[in-house]
Amino acid sequence: PVANDDPTPQSDPLAVGEDAGETALGDLLANDFDADGDSFTVNSVSAGGSTFAVGVAFTHPTSGAVILVAANGQVNYNPNGQFESLGVGETATDTFEYTIIDQHGNESGQATVTVTINGANDAPTATTVVPEFRISEAAGATVLDLATLLTAVEDVDANDLLTVASAPSNPAAGGVFALNSGDLSFDPNSEFDVANGAEEMVDFMVTIEDIAGEQITIPARIIIEGVNDAPVAADDPNFSGDEDTFLSQPARNLGVLENDSDDGGNAALVVGEVNGDPSNVASTVLLDDGNGRVADLLVSPNGTFNFDPRGDFDSLAAGSSSQVTFTYRAKDTGTENSLSNEATVTITINGINDAPVANNVAVAAVEDGPSIDENFDGSDVDEGETATLTYAIVSQPTEGSIVNNDDGTFTFDPADDFQDLAEGMTRDVTFNYSATDAQTAISDEAMITVTVTGINDAPLIDLNNTDGLASTLPTGDLQSANVIAVELDLSSADLNVSRLNSIDIPSFASDADGENIGFSLADSDNGGTPFRDANRPILNASNQLVWIPTAADVGSDYIIRVLAQDQPTQGGALSASFDLVVSVIAGNPQVDSVTDIDVSLDASEVTILFNEAMGASAFVAGNYSLVAADGTLINTVVPVLTTTAVTGNAGVVLQLNDTLIDTIAGPLAGGTKLTLTLDSSIVDLDGNTLEALVFEINLFDSQAS
């Protein structure tokens, strides 16, 4: 016989909606088969590890669904409300197993039936909870916690998204609702004035919506909590003072707090912060006007303040002003020490005129140099006034000259006042000046110091030095500033006339720098007769010029160049020179002086001495006249003149012989005065004509006397 095969069941996928009741899902046997072609039926049903009777409804021990499987394979499935948590688009699966048996009693293995439960939207529902939110009256917009709101809502769809559908209407008590990006917020909007520690209720209705658009409106409540109200600070725009004024404890009773307010009265206010920092209260802070000017500020807790411009605003001219500002917050004395809004204090600093300042000036000039133009150095802290300053010279320098050019500059001329400065030496001269501004304010005097640096000055030749000329030179002819002509007369017995007799050369030269001068002789380039080497002029150790001409020099013109060279301590030496043009002549016999002669009536001879100061010379014959005091010519006898030749400076002796004496004594009595004239016909042995000489002879009787 042929063996009977077991029937074969197939898995069956089924589906049902979450809200469906008992639903026939089809025939489980439709896809089963038996290889022998035998008929078959459902033999058993199991779920969750338990076996249930065929044809009898049972509750799935795990899912809670109610299932009925008939022997013919028909299956009814009821979700039984166990899948309400599924939302739209969500699914869940439920499974159970069954076996089949053929007509011969052969039983199959188990096949699994999978039921897919498709989710459906469930509308949210209200709970009995009324959510509450606590918000300070001083708060700004505050987001209401959604989780708290949703405590008033139920939604069986486990994964449903609940949101606030729209902002509620604004409460009549005040405040503003807003819905932004799903967040519901409430702003008391400063519309509540609840006492500190008290509360005020604001009830409102809000609509909640699920993802499918199902909505529910629920009640909610906001509790407004009263707090200490912050004070209100007002700007203070009207504090002012001048640039030099120290503002201390302004007249207002509360300083910056006077115009501030608080529900507790402004007397309870203090300054809580300055320029955004609490530590600035009662501390010195710096205020900048934006133009580089800075002041000190100290604000006390009671609202008074000290303001010190500290000289930084002196640049403000009269009529101009600048402003500085600072901010502060007032603080009340409540337990919360609430800070006010930020208020601005404006302080106006008014400019006043400041006197200009004249600064000391140091400039340099050079002896014999050009005049110098320099600037006065005045300043005025008042903006724009330095350029308009005028200057006045208050005192003059003791040397040099100063001119105010009336354009902010002055001119100093050293002139000839610094000739005594040697090379590199300096001397300061000073003068004072002042500055005047446009408001006629005058500065204190300032000093201008001119440092004059010396240069080397050449020696100065002065041939007008009459002291030197009188003592050492015969009368000269000053031909120019540095040339003098001198005539030497060899016939003169005066050594200062007949020679260059130790001429004091230093007396003709000086040095303005006070430097020593060295002297030397040089050949002149102005011509003249060259000196004979055997008889050249010299300078002795005392810088005295010595030259003794001889008869060989008669008729020559010599030029002696005298060099004067300074001896500076630094820099190069400078020199000057002068020329001495010397002419040598033989001259006529000269008599230095002739005195009256006393002649005795009994004398045999009269000797007359002529200091001719010549070389070899003697008087020769000539004409003589002898005249009495009454004019009677008595030379009735031509006298015989005896001459004696002399040399050197011994002079010439003229002897009148006894014939002449007798002629005189014979007819004349004692006491007679005679005049003896030697006319110009008398010549000496050198051929030089003697000038006429006149002298008196006093006759006396020696015996009678």
The DSSP secondary structure of 449-507, one letter per residue, reads EEEEEP-PPPPEE-TT-HHHHHHHS-SEEEEETTEEEEEEETT-S-HHHHSEEEEEGGG
Task: Give the DSSP H/E element, type plus range, for residue 274.
Answer: strand 270-274
Cβ proximity of 606 and 705 under 8 Å: no
Report all structural domains of the chain as residue ranges with CATH numbers, in order of start: 12-118 (2.60.40.60), 125-225 (2.60.40.10), 236-350 (2.60.40), 357-448 (2.60.40), 460-585 (2.60.40.10), 597-700 (2.60.40.1220)
Query: Is residue 72 predicted with pLDDT exceeding 70?
Result: yes
| Distance in angstroms (rounded) separating the CA atoms of residues 608 and 145 | 162
Most confident of 14-18, 230-234, 243-247: 14-18
Cβ proximity of 106 and 119 under 8 Å: no
Name the more confident of 644 and 59: 59
Tokens of 695: 């002298």
How many other C-beta atoms lie within 10 A of the C-beta of residue 109?
Answer: 11
Report the chain's mean pLDDT, rounded to a whole number: 82
Query: Is residue 3 predicted with pLDDT exceeding 60?
Result: yes
Binned at pLDDT 50, 70 and 90, residue 469 comes out as very low
Name the more confident of 639 and 526: 526
Look-up: residue for tokens 């100061």?
613
Binned at pLDDT 50, 70 and 90, residue 493 comes out as low
SS3 track for 528-570: CCCCCHHHCCEECCCCEEEECCCHHHCCCEEEEEEEEEECCCC
State how far Cα 468 lies from the chain centre. Answer: 63
The candidate with the shortest Cα–Cα distance to 586, out of 482, 490, 652, 509, is 490
Query: Is residue 602 predicted with pLDDT exceeding 80?
Result: no
Query: Is residue 611 predicted with pLDDT exceeding 50?
Result: no
Query: Is residue 653 predicted with pLDDT exceeding 50?
Result: no
Query: Is residue 560 predicted with pLDDT exceeding 70?
Result: yes
Cβ proximity of 519 and 575 under 8 Å: no
What residues form DSSP beta bridges with 114?
A: 13, 95
Cβ proximity of 287 and 324 under 8 Å: yes
Tell how strand 597-600 and strand 693-700 pair up: parallel
| Distance in angstroms (rounded) separating the CA atoms of residues 551 and 215 | 161
pLDDT in tens, 236-261: 988 899 999 888 766 556 789 988 88
pLDDT in tens, 317-332: 999 999 999 999 999 8
For the chain, what percent of residues have pLDDT higher than 70? 79
With vertex at residue 463, the alpha carbon angle to CA 461 and CA 469, rounded to the nearest 5 degrees, is: 135
Task: Give the DSSP H/E element, type plus range, for residue 146.
Answer: helix 146-149
Query: Is residue 553 predicted with pLDDT exceeding 50?
Result: yes
Tokens of 536: 């050249």
Tell me the Cα Rg of the chain: 74
Least-confidence region, from 172-186, 403-417, 568-582, 607-621: 607-621
Name the more confident of 266 and 318: 318
Name the more confident of 595 and 142: 142
**For 79-89, what is the mean pLDDT?**
92
State how far Cα 612 lies from the chain centre. Answer: 89
Cβ proximity of 531 and 524 under 8 Å: no
| Distance in angstroms (rounded) separating the CA atoms of residues 660 and 110 | 214
pLDDT in tens, 332-365: 876 666 789 999 999 999 999 999 999 999 999 9
Binned at pLDDT 50, 70 and 90, residue 601 comes out as low
DSSP-derived letter for residue 508 is G
Name the more confident of 212 and 601: 212
